[in-house]
Amino acid sequence: MEIETSSAIRLFFHNSSLQLVYFEALANAFDADATEIHVEVDIPLFKSAERLSIRIIDNGAGFNEENFIRFKTLLKPRDELHKGLGRLVFLKYFNKVEIVSTWDKFQREFIFKDGFDGASILTTSNVDQKNKTTLFFTGFSNKKIKSYDDLIPSVLKSEIINHFLPTLISFKGQKRDFRITVKLNTQDKNFDRGFFSQEEIITADDLPRMSEVIVEDHGLDLHSDIKIYYHVNLDAKAKGTSLVAFSIDGRTIPINNLIPPSSFPSDHHCIFLFESELFNSHSDSARQKIIFPDHIDDTKLYQILRGEIGKILSEKIPQINELNKKTQKEFEAKFPHLLGFFETDTIGLIDKDSALNTAQQKFFQKQKEVLQSDHLSDRNYQKALELSSRTLTEYILYREKIIDKMAEFSEENKESEIHDLIVPKFSEYCGDEVCSNVYQNNAWLLDDKFMVFRTILSEKRMEKVINAIRLDDEKVDDNGRPDITMIFSADPLDVEVVDVVVVEIKKKTDDEKENQYAVNQLMKRARKLVEYCPKIQRVWFYAVIQVNDEMAIGLRQQNWSPLYSKGKVFYQEFKTEKPNGHLVPTPTFIMSFDAIVNDAKNRNHIFLEILRDSMKKFS
């Protein structure tokens, strides 16, 4: 060959796939006017890559003198639609290709391999023979086969149709019959991968029915229209399959960054092909990427193509608009802090994950701009107010999730799980890390004022406190200690006085005697606590127990005051005496479990509605 093959392979096919071998062999067969093509893949086991062979037989015109001269000379294409390079990909994957071609009274044999010098053996016969060209690929040069999809006939059938769709549709329009057989012979039987001996056939009946739209006034060029061939069809087996591609020289070049696959409904098969003189013959050597002419603004072109796809999808699948409205309402309900950051020119179905990620990134970018500014101009001040509202909304939404999680708890949930939701056990933090800790301290479930309480003792220190306030003969949790959570207003080691919130959850039971016993324990626990930690100036005590009607009557008789609640809450102010005689205020609350959930939900809902309403002005 006139160009050294190994260097040319590296230059023109540095990023290719095994499927290109099939594509280039089929393209040559089509050029030779073949109507019958047989592709047969032989491999004993998938792991036996070195024993892979491929045989491709067609009934085209064969390697007559004209075709052979063109084959053995690189960069000598038959016309502007061809590259004159395709067969190089054969040697990218195989050490040699044995070729036998018969036509009329002639037969040509040669071996295509690295260093091919153009030699062949030409013999003649006394009688005419049927046209038949066989390419036999052996000596697979890679250590392993990259994918099962490179060998499975059902996959190859789909890939061949997609790659040659413009050509095959043209054949169908010309009433030119074709039949392509793809066969796999293997001893493997990997049914999970779909890898076993099988055969697929491609005919005109397998082609989708295409419609056509012409875009004339696109503003990119005064003389060239853009033709859009599309197929949008309800297909339960489609599983969201789609093809969006340029149609160039009878083949397709997929456009992966034009519209995400998730934009198409999963129960539809969608194909969009774009054809124009604007980009005819403008693909790379491997026909995997388009190379736009200098005068084409690809950004504007993609914008035009997206818009046209959007129009077609809206017309052919009207339920897309309904589903998108539903998604937008869902965003408004669940992510009001991101309103105004969601894309408004969505094509097809809204990709929820992508839309959320994009909106979140825009939000972060706005935050970064404000935080990095040296001074707040009037414009940045308004931005800061907006971002503050958004950040607060995000936090209130987080609280809504915590409340929903707590509402899901049933009698089967252990007391420790409920405690961990309010304040995590076995964790330590203090007020120095406000932003992160505010998402760990959920004591606001009891009262919003406890959001400022941000000190949890280390497990070692907490163990000492628990042992000090342990009561005789009381029940313990799986860790061998009473199920109690505490959170301090500050670290007792660093300040003179502290407040402490104590949450004690008792097992749900309607046994009035046991519940009353739990109430009586509270004051004993409080005395032990202030005795152990003399810096405590106030104890906020919360006991969560099952409060039925009988229990409620008993509490009122003991001077417990009922408080307004969506559950049952009783309050009484106690004074806990220290050893030195000083009295520590001990406001104590007895709450039913549903009171925590419902009251927190009501408080949070008010915040959320106010913020949601304010966010709408940014949308």
Give per-residue pLDDT as tens, 395-441.
888 888 888 888 887 666 656 677 677 766 545 555 555 455 566 67
User: Quick one: 447 and 577 in the same domain?
Assistant: yes
Residues 35 and 164 grouped into a single domain:
yes
Domain contains 521: yes
Sheet holding 484-488, edge to edge: 484-488, 498-505, 536-544, 583-591, 569-577, 561-563
Residues 422 and 310 in one domain: no
- From the number of C-beta atoms within 10 Å of its C-beta (0-12, 13-18, 19+), residue 125 rates as exposed
Q: Alpha carbon of 64 to those of 124, 160, 594: distances in Å?
A: 12, 26, 88
Domain match, 157 and 245 both = no
Tokens coding 371:
């935080």
What's the domain count of the chain? 4
Q: Is residue 558 part of a domain?
A: yes
pLDDT digits (tens, 9 = 90+) for 199-241: 999 999 999 999 999 987 777 776 778 899 999 988 867 666 7
What pLDDT sits at residue 425?
57
The one-character DSSP state at 444 is G
What stretches in the chain show pLDDT beneath 70? 1-16, 74-86, 222, 236, 238-240, 281-288, 370-371, 374, 376, 381, 410-416, 419, 423-440, 454, 457-460, 462, 471-483, 507-512, 514-515, 518, 615-619
Burial class of residue 216 in the structure, from the number of CB atoms within 10 Å of its CB (0-12 exposed, 13-18 middle, 19+ buried): exposed
Strand bridging mode 121-140 / 94-113: antiparallel
Q: How far apart (Å, rounded) are the C-alpha atoms in residues 571 and 12? A: 82
User: 464 Cβ partners below 8 Å, 6+ apart?
Assistant: none
380 and 509 in a common domain: no
Q: Are residues 115 and 197 in the same domain?
A: yes
What CATH number has the domain bearing residue 241? 3.30.230
Q: How is the beta sheet containing 121-140 ordered, strand by strand?
A: 94-113, 121-140, 53-58, 36-42, 179-185, 198-202
- Given a contact cutoff of 8 angstroms between Cβ atoms, the answer to whether 100 and 62 are in contact is no
- Domain end among 377, 408, 439: 408
User: Are residues 172 and 256 located together in one domain of the fold?
Assistant: no
Structural domain range at position 478: 409-596
47 and 80 share one domain = yes
Asked if residue 106 belongs to a domain, the reply is yes
Strands 179-185 and 36-42: parallel
Among 393, 408, 423, identify where a domain stops.
408
What Å distances lie between residue 9 and 16, 40, 90, CA to CA?
10, 25, 9
Residue 35 lies in a domain: yes
| Contact in structure between 96 and 21 (CB atoms under 8 Å) | no
Domain for residue 374, yes or no?
A: yes
- Please work out, in degrees rounded to the nearest 5, the angle formed at the alpha carbon of residue 40 by the alpha carbons of 38 and 42: 170
- 128-138 residue pLDDT tens: 889 999 999 99
Whether 21 is covered by a domain: the verdict is yes
Tokens of 224: 């060239």
On whether residue 504 sits in a domain, the answer given is yes
The residue from 282, 317, 352 where one domain ends is: 317
- Are residues 22 and 97 located together in one domain of the fold? yes
pLDDT number for residue 412: 64
**Which CATH number is 96's domain given?**
3.30.565
- Residues 385, 498, single domain; the answer is no
Cα separation, 515 vs 503, whole angstroms: 16
Residue 615 domain-assigned (yes or no): no
pLDDT the model gives residue 265: 86
Q: Do 462 and 589 sit in the same domain of this protein? A: yes
480 with 538, same domain? yes
